[in-house]
Amino acid sequence: MAKDGILSAEMVSEGMVHQERLVNRLQHMYRSLSLSGHNLSDVSVLSNYVHLQKLILPHNQIKDLSCVSHMPCLVILDASHNEISTFFDFEPPKKLKEVNFSYNLLTEMKSLFAYESLSKLILDYNSISEITGLEQCYRLTHLSLAHNKISRISGLDGLPLTYLCLRGNQLQKIDGLENVKSLQVLDLSLNRVTCLTGLQSLQLLCSINLEKNQISEIHECKHIHNLLLLRDLNLLENPLQEQPNYRLAVIFLLQHLTMLDQEVVTAEEKVTSVNKYDPPMDLVAARDHMTNLVYQLMQPQVLFDSTLPSVDSPYPLLVLTGPQGCGKRELVHRLCQEFCDYFCYGVSHATREPYSGEENGIDYHFINEEDFQNMIRMGKFIQTMQYKGHRFGLSRDTIEGAAREGLACCVHMELEGALSLKKSCFKPRFILVIPSQEEIYISHLKSRGLYTPAQIDAAVSRIDLYIRTNERHPGFFDNVVPCGNERKRFVTEEFYHNLPTPWRDIWILLMDFMIMIVKVGGTLASFLCSQTVCYYNVLQTRVQVKQQIDEITSLKSIHYTFSLITACIRETQLPNICVYLST
C-alpha cells in the first residue's frame, strides 16, 4: 500500500507487468503497469516512465493524471474508480486507443480532436449531461456513457461507432443517431424511452437493449421492422409486456430475431406468430373448412332430407373467382340467365350493408354479424370468409335449393373461399376472372363509386396473388378469363358484319358478355357433360336419369355451339382469344 498515497519507484517496479531490454541491453523498457486498489492519490513519479504503453490504475484516489503527458507511447489507459474531475487533462499521447474513466467525477466532456487514434472510450458512472467534443474522433468505434445524466443524444453524427451504451441516463426519445450508420450494438436500457422512432435508418444494428424503459405499444416495433440484421432485442420491463400475446406479436413483426428478452426465439414461435397474425391462405381455408364441418357434424342428422353429395358423389358447382369488382358477379348472373336450364345463382350471405340497387336474396342474403355467427354455430355454412371487415358465406341451404331444382349452383367468391371449397367434398370447377389491364380495372373500380382509394389499392394488389396462384399451381383454376376491354376491341361493327349469318345470331345472343362466356365455354360445356351424370345419380330417380340423357344431348349441342364460335373466332384471327380458348 502506498504511504500517504504517493506512488514510489519501488511500487512501480512491483507493478510492472511487462518489461523489455532496450537494444543496448543495459536499460530496461517498461511496457505495462498495473496498480489496482493501492489508495494512490499522487502518481507523478510515472512522468519518468516514458515507454509505458499500458497503464492500469483503477480503484485509487487519483485526481491528477498529468504524468500521462510524458508517455507518448501510451495505448491503453484505465483510470476507472478514481477521483478525476478534469476531462483528459494531459498532453495527448498520439497512439492512445482505449481510455476508461468510468466511476470518476467528470461533469463535462471537452474536445478530443487531438486524440485521433482513440477507438474505445468508457465514461460510465460520471455526471456528464451532454455528449460533446467527439466530432474529430474518426476512429472511435466503442463509446460507453452508462449511468450519466444525458437527456438527449447529440454530437455523434458521422462517427464510426459500432457499439454505443447509454444505459441508465435520462433519455425520453431516440434521436441524434440517424447518421451513426455503422452502429451494430445499442444499449439504451434504463432510460425513459417511449417510442422507437429514430432507429429505422440504422441498417447494421444487430442488438438493441431497451430493458426498463417506457415503451407501451407493440406497434412501436414497426419502426425497427426493416432492420434485417437485428437478431437480439431486449424489451424486458417495459409496459408493452403486459399486452396480450406480447411475445408472439413482437416475433411476428420482427421475424429475423433470434433472441427476445434474453430468451431464444424458437422456430415454433415464429410459425405460431405467422399463423396467428398473417396466416397463409391455405391455413385460413383449412381452419374455415374444419370449423364448418365440425359445426355441421354437431347438428342433428339431416341425411335423408339432403340431396347434396357425399365424398363419393360430387355435386356440380361452378365457381368464378377473382379480385373484387372484376366482373365475376355480373358474369355469374349472366350465365345463370343465359343458361337457366342448367345453372342457378348461389346467393351467398354477407354482413356488409347493401349497395344501392342491391336486393336482399338476389345479390346476397344480407344479415348482421350476430346472425352470421349463429349460422356458423348451427353448421349452416359450407364455406365462409372475412373480407375487408365483412363476412361472406355460402350456405348448404343455398346449394340444396339449387340441387332440388335440378340445377348446378354457380357462385362467385374470393380466392380464400375457393381454397376452402377445394377442401370440401364438392368438386367444383373454378374459373379465374382476372383483370388483364390494371389501369382499366382501376378506372372501373373508381367508376363504381363504392370504394375508398385504399380499398382500390388493396383490390389491385390482389391481382398478383391470383396470377401467382395460377402460375405456381397449374390446374388450380380450370380456366382463366381475362377481363379488360377486349370486348370493346373485338365486338366492332365491322367484325360483326363480316360474320356468316348463323354465327352472327350467336353473337347477338351473347352480346355483352360474349367474349367472357365464350372463354368460359370450353370449361362450362365439358364440366356440365361430365358432372351432370353425378348430379342425377344423387337424385336417384328413374325419371331424372331419363332426363339426364336428353339434357346431355342438348349440352353436347351447347358444346358444339361453343366450338363453332371458337372456330369462327379463329377464322377472324383474333389471337388473344384463341390462346385463352386453347388453354
Q: Which residues, 6+ apart, have CB-to-CB distance to 249 below 8 Å? A: 218, 243, 273, 277
| Residue type for position 465 | L
CB of 273 to ligand ATP, least distance (A): 26
* Shortest CB 411 distance to ligand ATP, Å: 7
The site for ligand ATP (CB under 6 A) is made up of: 324-325, 328-329, 348, 352, 383, 385, 387, 392-394, 412-414, 417, 450
User: Residue 111 is placed in which grid cell?
Assistant: 474536445
Provide CB contacts within 8 A for 60, sequence distance 6+. 5, 35, 36, 37, 38, 39, 40, 41, 43, 81, 82
| Residue placing its CB nearer to ligand ATP in the complex, 339 or 466 | 466
Cα–Cα distance, 104 to 86 (Å, whole number): 10
CA–CA gap between residue 582 and residue 566 (Å, rounded): 9
Residue 513 CB, shortest distance to ligand ATP, in Å, is 14
At its nearest, how many Å lie between ligand ATP and the CB of residue 417?
3
Decide whether 54 or 412 has the Cβ nearer to ligand ATP: 412
Residue closer to ligand ATP, measured from CB, 356 or 501: 356
Ramachandran sector of residue 504 (left: φ over 0; alpha: ψ -120 to 50; beta: rest): alpha
On whether the CB atoms of residues 11 and 31 are closer than 8 A, the answer is: no
Question: Which amino acid is present at 577?
Answer: I
Distance CA 280, CA 183 (A): 35
- Rounded to a whole number of angstroms, the minimum distance from the CB of residue 283 to ligand ATP is 16
- Report in angstroms how near the CB of residue 275 gets to ligand ATP at its nearest: 20
Cα dihedral 259, 264, 266, 272 sign: negative
Cβ proximity to ligand ATP: between 30 and 372 the closer is 372
CA-closest candidate to residue 207, choices 257, 140, 253, 142: 257
Cβ atoms of 529 and 555 closer than 8 Å: yes
Instruction: Report the residue number, 91 or 457, with the smaller CB distance to ligand ATP.
Output: 457
- Shortest Cβ distance from residue 241 to ligand ATP (Å)? 38
Nearest residue (beta carbon) to ligand ATP: 417
Neighbours of 525 (CB within 10 A): 20
Residue 154 or 373 with smaller CB distance to ligand ATP? 373
Q: How far is the CB of 280 from ligand ATP (least distance, A)?
A: 17
402 close to 408: Cβ distance less than 8 angstroms: yes
Q: Which is nearer to ligand ATP, 162 or 324 (CB)?
A: 324
Which C-beta is closer to ligand ATP: that of 450 or that of 508? 450
Pick 292 or 532: Cβ nearer ligand ATP: 292
* Strands 429-435 and 317-321, sheet pairing: parallel
Least distance in angstroms from the C-beta of 389 to ligand ATP: 10
